[in-house]
Amino acid sequence: MYQRLFAASLLLACLCLGFIAWGYQAPYSYEPVGPRAYPLMLMVLLGLGAIVLIIKPSLEADTDDEPALVPAMMRKALICLALLLGLAALFERLGFIPTAILFALGMARLFGGRWPQSLVLAVVLGVGLYFLFDNVLDVPLPLGVLAQLEI
């Protein structure tokens, strides 16, 4: 019940935010895909995930049986929220790569990853996403503390 209610709320929010993002026009564009492509892609992915959660068959034996909101789950949700807020707060100051590495490392550890694998994943993810956005999509991202390394 709670999962489907959350998914329906998420789908409604995605539709509203997608509608707002559709009409966004920047006075100047420094990105080849335009400023509205990223929020629209994000809303489509979130919306598809919400639809899957709404229509998915229940994995439990009893369809009315919802997992309880235990303190451990709430703690993980709050840590995830804190990591997201940290990502938003440090994105401009530290730059994309260090912030993405810290976020990915925190999320990997939060979900039980061991230190070596989590660190490798975080570095590959941070550097890989930077090069994907910067070189492939031509979306400039802040380098922050790594600006001295730019050629």
For residues 126 and 103, give the distance between their C-alpha atoms in angstroms, rounded to a whole number: 9
Write out the DSSP string of 117-149.
HHHHHHHHHHHHHHHIIIIIS------GGGGGG
**Identity at 16, one-letter amino acid code:** C
Q: Mind listing the pLDDT tens digit of every residue in the chain (151 residues)?
A: 677 888 888 889 989 888 888 887 766 666 666 667 778 888 899 999 889 888 876 554 455 566 677 888 889 989 999 999 999 899 889 999 999 999 999 999 999 999 999 999 999 999 999 998 888 878 888 888 877 776 5
Burial of 150 (0-12, 13-18, 19+ CB in 10 A): exposed
